Structure 1
Amino acid sequence: MKEIIENSLETSMSYNEYITLVDYLVLNNKTTGAESTEDLVNYTALNQKRMSRWDKRLTLTESQKEQLKAFDKPMIWLAITESWCGDAAHVMPVINKVAEQSENINLRVVLRDEHPELMDLFLTNGARAVPKLIMLDADTKKVINTFGPRPSAATQMVSDYKAAHGQITPEFKEDLQLWYNKDKGKTAASDLLKLLPVSVSL
């Protein structure tokens, strides 16, 4: 596992580099991933707009900012994603916003289909679901925790819907997007702070 993680880190990019990549893909009608269909290209274009909006509008509470500034354990956050993923468009900007508030969190990004061995170490219910965030000790590269692919409340929504209807429908996906817009990243930010290895009492 350690070797796979270290190899992935060597080919990883910063969040800003990831955004630049998505911008390039949209300009050239392309997408990330092993497949390149018209739908995936369109999802990438839509997600670019979503990420841009969240990058500008997302805010953390003063308490959360103080907690992150006081956080003193050097970590690497390795995020696995793809440009076409609807959940990633809402979650990746939150991950970045949280990481930006701490000098001790170094966020790196890799693409799922370019790192299958890494992805297969962090499956969600047997699926290669993204985004997936791996929280690593900066020195030892030991896995401290993981997050994703969705915030806790959204995960519960999906679970409840599948239990009642058997599978996710296009209508439910629209409802999920509305939830993300209403939540404004608050649940994801709260979930991420709860996963930090040392909590600071304020």
Structure 2
Amino acid sequence: MKPKVALALFHSHSYLEFRKLIADLLLEGKSTGNKQSEELTYNSKLNDIRMNHLDEIITVSEENILKLNSLQKEYIWLVIAEGWCADGAQIIPILNKMAVASQRIDLKIALKSENEDLLNLFVTNGENSIPKVIVIAKQTAAVMGSWGPRPQGAVDLMQNYKIKHGVIDEAAKTDLQMWYLNDKGISIQDELIKLLLG
């Protein structure tokens, strides 16, 4: 696993680099990834707007900042994502705020399209779902765990919707976006801090 993690880290981006990559590709009418379509480009445009909004409004609670800074080790959060991923647009800005608030976390973002082999090691319910956060001990490069692609409340929402309606449709996606809006990033913060604190 270490060579795959090392390769992903070598080709990874900081949050600002990831945002710039998305913006630069949008200027060319493209999205991240090998596959291109009008839908993926549209999703990337929408996600760019979402991330701009979240950059402005999301905060990390004082309690969570204290917890993050109480960590005894330093970590790398290697996030496997794409610019067109709606969940990624809701989650990655929160991860960035947490990393900025902490002196113990370095956030790196790698594209799914360039790291399928690594993502295959972190399958969720039989699928290569993104975003996936791989928690790496900075000093040893050991993988300490993973998280994603959604907080548990969002997972439950989608599972219950599918049980009730039989499909995940546009209404389900709208419900999911509203869930993220109402949650304000609290679940993501709490779940990742719990993972770090063991």
TMscore range, shorter length: over 0.9
1:106 is aligned to 2:106: yes
Report the residue type matching 1:33 in the other structure. G
Partner of 2:174: 174
- More displaced stretch, 82-91 vs 157-166: 157-166
Amino acid of the residue matched to residue 120 of structure 1? N
Q: What does residue 35 of structure 1 align with? A: 35
Q: Does 1:142 align with 2:103?
A: no
TM-score when normalising by structure 2: 0.95
In the TM superposition, what is the alpha-carbon distance from 1:131 to its structure 2 partner?
0.5
Aligned to 1:23: 23
After TM superposition, give the deviation of residue 162 of structure 1 in Å.
Answer: 2.3
Aligned residues: 198
| SS state at 2:21 partner | helix
1:128 corresponds to? 128
Give the secondary-structure state (helix, strand or coil) at the position aligned to 1:76.
strand
C-alpha contact 1:4 1:117 (8 A) present in aligned 2: yes
2:158 equivalent in structure 1: 158
Matching of residues 58-97 of structure 1 within 5 Å: 58-97=58-97
Q: Which has the higher helix share?
A: 2
| CA distance in 2: counterparts of 1:89 and 1:157, whole angstroms | 18
Task: Quote the offset at 1:147 in angstroms.
Answer: 1.0
Report the 3-state secondary structure (helix = DSSP H, G, I; strand = E; otherwise coil) of the residue aligned with 1:121: helix
RMSD value, Cα: 1.2
Q: Does residue 118 of structure 2 align to residue 118 of structure 1?
A: yes
Identical aligned residues as a percent: 38
- Stretches of structure 1 that go unaligned for 5 or more consecutive residues are none
In the alignment, structure 1 residue 192 sits paired with structure 2 residue 192: yes
Deviation at 1:113, TM superposition (A): 0.8
Deviation at 1:68, TM superposition (A): 1.4
Give CA deviations for 1:108-164 in whole Å, capped at 9, x if unaligned. 110001111111111111111110000011122211121111111001111222233
Question: Is the contact between residue 137 and residue 144 of structure 2 (CA under 8 Å) also seen in structure 1?
Answer: yes
Between 1:61-70 and 1:130-139, the stretch displaced more is 61-70
Partner of 1:129, secondary structure, is: coil
* Cα drift, residue 106 of structure 1: 0.9
- Contact 2:71–2:197 under 8 Å retained in 1: no
Distance 1:99 1:163 in 2: 36
